[in-house]
Amino acid sequence: MSGNDNLVTTDDAADVAVANEAVKRRLGWGFWFCIGWIVLMIIVAFLAPYLSIKDPNANFIDMSGKGRPPYGPSMDHWFGTDKDARDIFSRTLYGARISLTVGFVAIAFGLLVGGTLGILAGYFRGWFDRIISFVFVILLSFPSLVLAIMLTSLIERSLLTISLVLGVLSIAPVGRLARASTLQYADREFVTAARQIGATNRRIILRELLPNVVIPMGALALLGMAVAIVAEGGLAFLGLSVEKGITWGSLIQLGSEGSTTLQKSPWIAFFPIFVLFFTVLALNFAGDRLRTYLDVKESAL
């Protein structure tokens, strides 16, 4: 948009073009396949205790002469067992609970806080915008894993705190996007019009700006969830995530610790890796498709 676009109504032509394109744009079967996998994972995470799968913490020591655990994959234990003879399949399913919860809570927190700060900064500008933008720069000036590790060193590592730490990490990227898209809309005619007829700031933000800003942020949500799940996996892998509980990261860590575990019983690490990878891939792919579908500019990210 050029500087004096208040006078020139170029927007109409663009809107028509978008409307025509909408017919051609489809999300495609790949998108729905990915959504299907994500939904499946969510259902599994919710229903894990009620499904007729094995107890994830029970030790299934085999007495029929298979020797000492770990046991490889079999009809009895689809994904095999770890060195304490615990069933990897049910542990992987249970792992979805923490990993998905953390991913969801983190991005929800990031959207709420980052989105609010970004919109306010973009709308009011001035000194408030400067402070908020500087805070975003500080947050972004850290490799996120380093920041996460530092924060986890200061707190009790529970499900809630880990989710919030990862949520804090998503504040800056989400906030920058919210600010950028608010800036884009704050000078448009419909906002000026709303102000002229006496709408309060609160009403303008909630009724005029929010509906426009929410769309690009929503497209970011799936990608953000993938990032949070990977980050949680990384923390768990380093032994810095939720202290008691099964997560995909800690399962993978268990399968690769020591010098011989990976060599002698690769299934312990590889089945959780596969599930984690597929979930992250699905979130990434679906998020990417959604972003293209909703036409969110990459430069705004």
Partner 1 sequence: MRFWLQRVAMAVLLLLSVSALTFGAMNILGDPLFNILGPVAGDVNNPDSVKLIEKAKAEFDLDEPLVVRYGLWLSDFVRGDMGVQFSSDGQPPVSDLIKERLPRTATLVLLAQLMAISIAIPWALVTASRAGRLSDRISTMNTFFLVAMPNFALAIILKFVLSIKLGWMPLTYVANDPLSSRLWQMVLPALTIALPVAAVFQRLLRTDLITTLQQDFILMARAKGLSRRRVLFRHALRPSLFSFITVVGLNTGALIGGSIVVETIFRIPGIGSSLVESVLREDFPVVLAIVMIVAVAFVLINLLVDILYSIIDPRVRR
Shortest reach from residue 265's CB to partner 1, in Å: 11
Residue from 150, 193, 206, 215 touching partner 1 (CB under 8 A): that is 150
Q: Give the three-state DSSP class for 81.
A: strand
Show the tokens assigned to 269.
Answer: 């690490």
222/254 Cα distance (integer angstroms):
28
Which residues pair with residue 81 across a beta bridge? Answer: 87
Rank residues 94 and 237 by Cβ distance to partner 1 and give the closer one.
237
Rank residues 218 and 266 by Cβ distance to partner 1 and give the closer one.
266
Which among 172, 184, 171, 189 has a CA at the least distance from the CA of 213? 184
Q: Site mask, partner 1, residues 249-288, x = CB under 8 A?
A: x--xx-xx--x--xx--x--xx--x--xx--xx--xx--x
Helix (H) / strand (E) containing 278: helix 267-293
Show the tokens assigned to 3.
Answer: 């500087």
Shortest reach from residue 193's CB to partner 1, in Å: 34
Q: Site mask, partner 1, residues 94-133, x = CB under 8 A?
A: ----------------------------------------
Cα–Cα distances in angstroms (integers) from residue 2 to residues 5, 42, 70, 76, in the given order: 6, 45, 66, 66
Applying CB under 8 A, the residues found at the interface with partner 1 are: 134, 137-138, 141-146, 149-150, 152-155, 226, 230, 233-234, 237-240, 249, 252-253, 255-256, 259, 262-263, 266, 269-270, 273, 276-277, 280-281, 284-285, 288
